[in-house]
Homo-oligomer: A and B are copies of this chain.
């Protein structure tokens, strides 16, 4: 198919497709002449993936590019798979909006230690956790006794369920599952959490206090 059909099929404007081509997110079509190229089903899939990354997963174009590059060109060993997945999907630089330079890693390290986890002590994620904890503190929120550790243990269950889905036979599939799982399940997780909150809160108020209302 040609670009206009690719556009129709995916509902992405031609100009935008050209933009993604320029940015290297979408591989070029197969040239048939100086002014023509044909695109395949693979391009349709790729484009849908790109939109998934830029939309729900909220990645920047740059981060999406990193993700796609890792998938296209997987690391050598299984040991590197998760690392590659995480560095590829780590939030762009230190920016975004108002954030700060170097949060105190102490609380984050302590929490991880309390949970007994083995993590890369220099990973971005630890810094993220640190500034997230600082934000919680700034909000003056209760996280009740041992709450964060409990939180952590539950999250560990999630991680286990996820890592279990990573195929161990072929590295390219492992990378794909790992990388895309890392980013694409984030919005699933967040929306499920909110829906679960609705359920929990609903039970609380309909069961106990107001047995008259359900909505």
Contacts and interface: CB of A to CB of B under 8 A. Distances in A.
A141 B197 contact: no
B180 A141 contact: yes
Nearest to A155: B192
The prevalent SS among residues of A at the interface is: helix
B202 A55 contact: no
Copies in the complex: 2
A45 B117 CA distance: 33
A135 B195 contact: no
Nearest to A162: B197
A82 B99 CA distance: 27
Contacts of A37: none
Interface in A168-195: 176-177, 180-182, 184-195
Interface residues of A, number: 98
A139 B52 contact: yes
A201 B210 CA distance: 46
Contacts of A1: none
A135 B118 CA distance: 31
A152 interface: yes
B163 A201 contact: yes
Contacts of A54: 97-98
A97 B163 contact: no
Given A125-B195, A126-B191, A154-B158, 10 more contacts: A51-B98, A52-B139, A82-B198, A118-B199, A135-B187, A141-B181, A148-B188, A151-B188, A154-B157, A156-B199
Interface in A144-170: 144, 147-148, 150-152, 154-165, 167
B132 A56 contact: yes
A144 B162 CA distance: 9
A198 B135 contact: no
